[in-house]
Amino acid sequence: MSHPPRKIIHVDCDCFYAAVEVRDDRTLLGRPVAVGGDPHRRGVIATCNYPARQFGVHSAMASSQALRLCPDLVIVPPNFDKYRKVSTQIHDIFKRYTSLIEPLSLDEAYLDVTASEQYDNSATRIADAIRREVRQQIGITVSAGVAPNKFLAKVASDWRKPDGLFVIPPDQVERFVAELPVKKISGVGRVTAERMTSLNLHTCGDLQGLSRLTLAQHFGSFGERLYHLSRGEDNRPVQTGRRRKSVSVERTYDKDQPTLNDWLRELDGLLEKLKARFERLDQNYLISGLTAKVKYQDFVSLSCDKAGTDLDPAHFEALLQQLWERRQGPARLLGIGARLRDLKAPQQPDLFPEEWDKALRQRRGKS
């Protein structure tokens, strides 16, 4: 027996950090505002409002570059304690409509309202009520998307930003995704998008014309996901208890690290922080891979990864060496991390059960 379509809402706050700052300081109303670090100390923009975006300012941009683009930009230092408090208040509103809430960050979440009795089980009216309550009670705006699954709900929430609501009913999914640009698919970054363009693949309808095998040949393991998402298919449930997939640390330097030896000297401090973060996780996580990242003076970023089940410094030295061989030059940021295997999540049978068992014993301090 087939189940009725899910009713999923994706709620996304509009320019969250900046919106909270403007709310709390009305002298900022109508002005270009960003939340970020000191432009004189290699600060980076965390977010900015729409007046700032009109000048080309965007998140992850250097604060100094943002000021060059928009000399009147007001850069406010972040206050994450305040943002967390506001996020909690917004989630209290969500809870009036459903207990199935999956936070993605402080400013966005999925809600499954399939079984909600509010507003005669109309997901559209529930989403509109949430937007109204956030505006009236919190003093900021949110955009919402309503659809039969998480992929389409997230696409929909971005469709009429800011302060918008967009609905994709089940009977319109096929027509909607056929014309959806491939760049709207989660996981399609710049490199993948360029590859798709070279193959004359511009919409999900174009992707639908390719077989599973062809997609796998061009896009590897991502091909299977593309096959389903290009058809508007996404069976992932809303997860009320989110689990981590990775843990990482990074540092942006006031003064560039010019040589490989300088990079390696930074490794001890980074590794100490990474180990501390990993130890704070519960005992159901194992390390399944290692990564390293560098950002250069021109803001180009490179990363690489390798297999590994422990935080051995030699592994990260090898990764930094590999990055140096790919591109030599001063680094303004260095980072390291680990991919995680969650023992609480459904797992495929292990190909190397003995290695995982050994890693688990080491994590739990057993011989």
Active site amino acids: 108
Instruction: Yes or no: say if 162 and 50 are a contact pair by the CB < 8 Å rule.
Output: yes
Q: Quick one: CA torsion of 266, 267, 269, 271, rounded to 10 degrees?
A: 160
190-198 and 212-219 helices, crossing angle to 10°: 120
Q: Where are the beta strands (DSSP E) in 37-158?
A: 45-48, 74-76, 101-105, 108-112, 142-147
Taking Cα atoms as reference points, which of 243, 241, 204 lies closest to residue 226?
Answer: 204
Cis, peptide link before residue 169, omega less than 30° from 0: no
d(CA 159, CA 343): 37
Q: Establish whether 12 is an annotated binding residue.
A: yes
Contact 243/344 with Cβ under 8 angstroms? yes
Whole-number Å distance between alpha carbons of 367 and 360 = 10
Q: What's the token pair of residue 4?
A: 């009725």
What tokens does 223 get?
């091909």
Closest CA to 207 of 239, 173, 187, 232: 232
CA–CA distance, 165 with 145 (Å, rounded to integer): 6
Q: Which amino acid is at 129?
A: A
Instruction: Quote the CA–CA distance of 161 and 194 in Å, as a whole number.
Output: 26
DSSP annotation of 40 reads: G
Binding residues for Mg(2+): 12, 107
Binding residues: 12, 107
